[in-house]
Structure 1
Amino acid sequence: MSENSDPLLALRSAIKSRATITFSKDGAPVPSLASATHIDLSPSQSYARATPTRWKKSGSGNEGYTLDALYLVFQLQGASGGEYMKQARENGMTVGMVSITERKAVLDYLEGRISDHPSIIQEDAGKGDGSAPAGAATSPQKRRHYVPDAKDVQVVKRMRQNEVELEDRHTVLRGQKLNDFTNLRNIYADKLKKLKDASKTGAAVPAPPSPKARVQGAPIILVSSSPTALVTMYNVQRFLGESVFETSQEARANAGNNRPPELIHIYRKVDIPSNDGTTSMRQATRRYAVYDNAEKMPPDGWDRVVCVLTTGQAWQFRPYKWSEPRALFHHVKGMHVSWANDPPNPKIADWNVTEIKIDKNRRHVDKSTVAHFWRVWTTGWA
């Protein structure tokens, strides 16, 4: 089958050749897949986004994924599982998106790391003559030795090649590599023996050393230095610390029009597990450092940066360790802050950032907005 007539091969060829893939609606170009009806792989190749492909869905017979579902796997390759599903729904994929467990295989095929996959329906798969032979005898006959038809053998081979083993929530978590923990067991067997002997003799068991913190110093949040940014060094303290939003102009006026500090600390109370070995929780205060100038950070600053607030302007990242937005937001969490009634920003469509929407008038929703901000990326820090 030629690439011109097969959308799966055409998409793979366009991605491997790094061709510019665009979107259109009614023959006119549009900025994003969400508003498009067609995907233009080249000036001469345009497919409806819902065009079915030969990549078969798991557990759905011979129904294939649509072209836009496969393209979103490539476009959102750096996104986490939850972010991938969210972005897919925003691009119109309410159903039919590629499952989390199949993303890697689809991406490997589209980028040319593998040449085939069992889920790809072959062009001639399933063809064969299944009709009954003419002139079959109706009277009982002596049983003859069965001789398989050569055509049937080839069909069965192709069926076995395309066979997909069904997976459930248990088998999908099992690794294929067998790990041998014999060495580890031998190491701890000696330690356990010493502990048992010490308990029998009444000797004191030494306390284990306290684990080192994963990151030395406060986690860092970077905000934009743009005067048009909604969250700046003037109002970030009250917004993230007190869950109350006021514009930068208001905050600057309340501060006497002074220059903002180079560093602001925000303290937030979090629940962490108790040290008594039970499942109870205790409250602790966590400190975060906020900068709007990456060059003012300490030498180990980029090892501690956990979140970047952006207005969608790429110049903000020029002095950063990763000046390209896609590379930056592959390493740290990105937050795009805008007004709730602002239209979608096409520049950030493939930046892998989370939208933080601020209402201009309803201050009572600020608390839920800030809670969403902390919840999105702080899981695992406390």
Structure 2
Amino acid sequence: MDPLSVLREYAIRGELDRVVQSGDELRFGSEYAFPCSAVTAYRSKQGGFYTLDALLFFARHHHLKHTEYLQSARQYRLPTVTFPDRKPLLDYLLGRIASSDAVSFLPPPPSATVEEYRPDDPSIPLDEPPSSAPATAADEAAADLAPTAPVDYVAMIRALERPLKDREALLECRNRDFHAVLLASTKREEERQRLESQQRKDGLVAKTRLIGSDDHHRPVVAAYGGGGDDAADAAAPKPKIHLKGSKIGEGVPIILVPSAFQTLITIHNVKEFLEDGVFVPTDVKVKAMRGPKPDCVTVQKKLSRDRAVAAYEVRDKPSAFKPEDWDRVVAVFVLGKEWQFKDWPYKDHVEIFNKIIGFFVRFEDDSVESAKTVKQWNVKIISISKHKRHQDRAAALEVWDRLEEFMRSRSHN
């Protein structure tokens, strides 16, 4: 009996645990024994025939992922089954299909001669071969053809080949670390944005003071991006902005962010998110940061072609606020914890989110439990992807749109 048929029979019966290796042989119970490297009749789609030890190992480990299976086979220095052959081979070995085009029962090469193993049988003399049935005409014809059947030596060689590297191993770069490149580029970008932020802040403060001396309401309109003809805007009376009975203080509006690192948006990465539409993890920004953490960051809307651009201050230390600072707070990125609002000049979160617009930024595949508390508040939940950075711009624009809508609605109160 050929080794492939024996292996298939044991696999169908679920008796592969009865196959044991003894030296260079694989013994199937007490019935058969074959060389471990015996070439079977199953041909790979790559052209070679699989050896018996390769098929047995695959049959025992087919439940593993292909990469895990390859690694495990290499540890035992065994030939492996290719990925395209996995399913059709498994279906044939487990009897899900009766036959396969990949099976080609050719006469085995001399190096893979099958030796049948039989237990001791006292009824058969050791010095006499067992009697056999008379040969039929078909047997004699097959015997005449056997010596002339070609042996595929190339297939035999390919069956014994073992891959040294897979596509994952080829991508590995030993003694190479690109973290330093990331840090260097991040530092340069941080320095550029810091200089730009300082220049914008200095110009904004000077402009606010100059306009404030002539028109008490003009800084509010400039800060919130009022449009229209400049001369008409200057001549027309400007409405005084209130937040549910509490006016917005003069100067630049304030956006609050949590100081805790377990939130996605912090004072470290808020500028990249709101101005550039790119989410950079806080830990990456902290590693690239030079000097102490800033107390204030100025952000402007750069993601649209609006003629007038709003400017906001972002802070994360409300405990240091003066009463007039609270009058300028218009938005807050929430952490999702009640203790974030401790010592705020409001009685509860209902009053907070009536006077201040709230945002909660989360990863889109986070569990619902992470936003369970936030869903009870009057805040806008903004979802971003963990890996698809091209989607960050849409999330940042949603924040700006909600904020500007909130500012317009309050200006009419």
Which interval holds the TM-score relative to the shorter structure? 0.3 to 0.5
Q: Which has the higher contact order (CA 8 A, sep 6+)?
A: 2
Greater per-residue strand proportion: 1
Tell me the TM-score normalised to structure 2 length: 0.37
Q: TM-score, normalised by structure 1?
A: 0.40
Larger radius of gyration, structure 1 or 2? 2
Q: Which has the higher helix share?
A: 2
